[in-house]
């Protein structure tokens, strides 16, 4: 589901062309729920885990979460080494969270340590800590 690079010059540019490819694709796919005033959370595969795309969705009132799958390098703008440093000395089953802002949009990254792996996810749908009224 990727637009072809051969866009005819006669046609106007695609609607979400000022975003990255992933963000533009997600914004296009989610057009029917933009600004619906409903609390909708989209769960994405790790292949669509792009921080700028999640932030772009939140700007139009669509919340999203995705599994982080790191191979060799961390995604752009993601403080992954901060999470790893927090979990290095922790026991199996412990969790860590990092909160960040990208263009004044808050996002969170959660991690849970397993015996041989650390599961990480990123999202814009909730906060790190809940108050007593939740």
Residue 10 within a domain: no
Q: Where are the alpha helices (DSSP H) in the chain?
A: 21-29, 51-59, 80-87
Q: Which domain holds residue 63?
A: 21-123
pTM over 0.75: no
What pLDDT band is residue 56 in, cutting at 50, 70 and 90? confident
Residue 67 within a domain: yes
- The tens digit of pLDDT for each residue in 87-100 reads 777 888 888 777 88
Q: Is the pLDDT of residue 1 over 70?
A: no
Residue 13 within a domain: no
Host H or E run for residue 98: strand 95-102
CA distance 134 to 118: 28
Strand partners, 64: 42
Total structural domains within the chain:
1
How far, in whole angstroms, is CA 4 from its chain's centroid?
Answer: 24
Residue 129 within a domain: no
Residue 5 within a domain: no
* DSSP count for the chain of H helices, then E strands: 3, 5
């Amino acid at each position: 589901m990727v637009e072809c690079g051969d866009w005819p010059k006669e046609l106007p540019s695609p609607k979400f062309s000022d975003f990255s490819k992933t963000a533009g694709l997600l914004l296009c796919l989610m057009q029917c729920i933009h600004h619906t005033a409903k609390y909708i959370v989209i769960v994405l595969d790790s292949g669509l885990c792009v921080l700028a795309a999640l932030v772009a969705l939140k700007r139009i009132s669509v919340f999203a979460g995705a599994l982080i799958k790191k191979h060799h390098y961390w995604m752009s703008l993601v403080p992954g080494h901060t999470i790893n440093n927090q979990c290095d000395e922790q026991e199996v089953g412990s969790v860590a969270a990092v909160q960040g802002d990208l263009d004044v949009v808050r996002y969170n990254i959660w991690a849970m340590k397993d015996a041989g792996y650390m599961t990480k996810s990123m999202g814009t749908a909730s906060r790190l800590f809940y108050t007593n009224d939740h």
